[in-house]
Copies of this chain bind each other. A is one copy, B any other.
Amino acid sequence: MPRLVLATHNKKKLLEIERIVGPLLPSLEVLTLDDFEAYDEPVESELTFAGNALLKARAAVARTGLPALADDSGLAVDALNGMPGVLSARWAGKPKSDERNNALLLEQIEDVPDEFRAAAFVSAVAFVLPSGEEQVVEGRVPGVILRAGRGEGGFGYDPLFLPDGVDQTMAELTAEEKDELSHRGRALRAVAPLVAAVL
């Protein structure tokens, strides 16, 4: 059975990826980094989601010898020129904290009128093979940033993000609804056929 490694240590992100990828690629054995000896994850020094996703997937291939799938994702807020972007998880500094990140974002755009609070969740998924072959696809969900969080599901900025055309925040959706709609779901569904074609 061909094997694929998911190159993330973020537990919640891993759960989402496994949940989406499993049914899409039933003939693969999907491993995680926990199945291998620990290694230092690379510093996410790139300025784009695609750059960081590639960096993480390449590192996983180098350490495991297996094909790897990695996601880099975040929230691009119009009024912040697309930031927090690649810095979404560490927006308020370290240690990483969803609560501090959400609070900081709300304070920063407090004076931004409702009509300028558009944003998008973006996910770049990189697929890298030991041969060196690389693919990156991007998924994107447009929406707006609310003035207070709603919902207990998801993680990151999910409670603040109301996708266009939906009445619930990303944190108020069920897991299935979120996967159907989400940036990560979109990117993973786009990359799955590319993976299936070569493994």
Contact = CB atoms under 8 A, between A and B. Distances in A.
A82 B85 CA distance: 13
A128 to B, nearest CB: 21
Given A45-B113, A47-B116, A116-B47, A93 B108 contact: yes
A43 B112 CA distance: 9
Interface string A80-101: 1111010100111110000000
A147 to B, nearest CB: 14
Interface string A153-166: 00000000000000
Nearest to A105: B93
B82 A108 contact: no
A81 B91 contact: no
A105 to B, nearest CB: 10
A192 interface: no
